[in-house]
Amino acid sequence: MALRSGFVSIVGRPNAGKSTLLNALLGQKIAIVTHKPQTTRTRIQGVLELPLRKKSKTDPGRPMAQVVLVDTPGVHKPDTQLDKRMMQEVHDALESRDVVLFLVDATHRLHGDEVMDEKPVKTLGQHRRKMSKAEDDFALQLVKKLDCPVILVLNKIDALPKTVLLPLIAHWSSLHDFADVIPISARKKQGLELLLDKVVSRLPEGQRYFPKEQLTDQPERFLVAELIREKILLLTGEEVPYATAVVIEKFEEPASMRKGRDGKLPVTKISAAIYCERAGQKAILIGKQGTMLKQIGTAARKDIESLLGTRVFLELFVKIEDEWRAKRGFVEELDWRRQLEQLAELQSRQNREDSEEDEDELDEVFADEEEYDESDEDDEAEGESEED
Ligand SMILES: Nc1nc2c(ncn2[C@@H]2O[C@H](COP(=O)(O)OP(=O)(O)OP(=O)(O)O)[C@@H](O)[C@H]2O)c(=O)[nH]1
Ligand SMILES: [Mg+2]
């Protein structure tokens, strides 16, 4: 059977479990996960290689495939420039795709009764359900416009009684003509094989988009920044996590990956700037006598060390950039694809300067040689004159 390949975008409201699903399918953590909504800010591609599964009496089999999974930020109504950027990332992921997984948090239950729209909201629970319905509706509008197969994935089934599953499937199926409906638990890795079978069956035959051994398009440097942001999301509350961005300013890999004579692993030196919007947020991020920053650093360093397979020297700085979420230029600078381009430009400029310096040095060497030659000639002349 020929290889199947294609792009599969995972979309849905914030906190539905999109990044958890990406990590679960890949068997590795390439996207950060927290209980807070709007954790993911940029789309991330994860490359999944699936070997051929042969047909048998009980198994229809599955062709060999390369599935490029694209995790996206949660669909929400944009407010700030950052929100707009995040939604742009969702739109980009929906533009170049073969299949879309529309992920729904099944624990949000059946909130689709129209009566709720008319009833005045009295309790916090009612308010949450109403918000949740609005968010799901908003996300659904986005996928309704697509012309590719959209698979409805009901996530978090580990956290709900089986009896609610059928009414939930019926409810969602009435809202859109989904290509398939698959209940899963991304956290417990339940239902994933069936989901992959359905995905692969809808991918076209084609070539690999990425080399076989590539896991993601996101360079380590940026995953490191994400891991730091994850710890901030987990350790701080209120507005702070949302007003925070992390930029890697220095990333010095060790010259060799070999252990030293003392048996210790080599060291990667990393400096990161944590941007926030106000002095009060900076104070929270630093904490009393630097305790919060230390906690963030220690937690992040452990994860980064296991990611890189080296020891890590991590420096964190907190900087204030007034209302950065409202600044388009600043938000765009945060995009790792853009940063990567800038780094490549910087590198090629440096290479050019280095080679120009080398040329200058060569000129000097030639000049020295010329001088040497001249002096040689002088010597000879002298010699000659002496001989004379
Ligand atoms: N019980 C349960 N929890 C889950 C499951 N999948 C994800 N979660 C939890 O749901 C929360 C959100 O998960 P994420 O993967 O960050 O969700 P997301 O959709 O990527 O969220 P955003 O990036 O904010 O859009 C985390 O606390 C996860 O542990 C699941 O299958 N079962
Ligand atoms: Mg996410």
Q: Tens of pLDDT along 255-283?
A: 888 888 888 999 999 999 999 999 999 99
Give the model's pLDDT for residue 374: 44
Angle in degrees, 0-180, between the axes of helices 124-144 and 81-95, rounded to the nearest 10: 40
Q: Which CATH class is domain 4-201?
A: alpha beta
Helix extents (H) in the chain: 18-26, 81-95, 115-118, 124-144, 165-173, 192-201, 220-235, 279-286, 291-308, 328-334, 336-387
Low-confidence ranges of the chain (pLDDT < 70): 1, 109-131, 360-388
Pocket of ligand 1 (CB under 6 A): 14-20, 33-35, 37-40, 73-74, 155-156, 158-159, 185-187
From 33, 157, 160, 233, the mutation candidate for ligand 1 (largest count of ligand atoms within 8 A of CB) is 33
Give the model's pLDDT for residue 35: 95
Q: Which CATH class is domain 220-334?
A: alpha beta
* CA 98 / ligand 1 centre spacing (Å): 24
Residue 86 CA: which ligand is closest? Answer: 1
Give the model's pLDDT for residue 334: 93
Nearest atom in ligand 1 to 36's CA = 24
What is the residue extent of each domain of the chain? 4-201, 220-334
Same fold, 4-201 and 220-334: no
Distance CA 49, CA 53 (A): 12
Q: Which of 227, 232, 162 is nearest to 190 (CA)?
A: 162
Q: Integer distance in angstroms from the first to the last C-alpha of the chain? A: 91
Give 141-200 pLDDT, tens digit per residue: 999 999 999 999 999 999 988 888 999 999 999 999 999 999 999 999 999 999 999 999
Given a contact cutoff of 8 angstroms between Cβ atoms, the answer to whether 93 and 44 are in contact is no
Q: Which of 79, 97, 6 is nearest to 38 (CA)?
A: 79
Give the model's pLDDT for residue 357: 78
Give the model's pLDDT for residue 96: 84
Give the model's pLDDT for residue 162: 86
Residues 6+ apart with CB under 8 A from 213: none
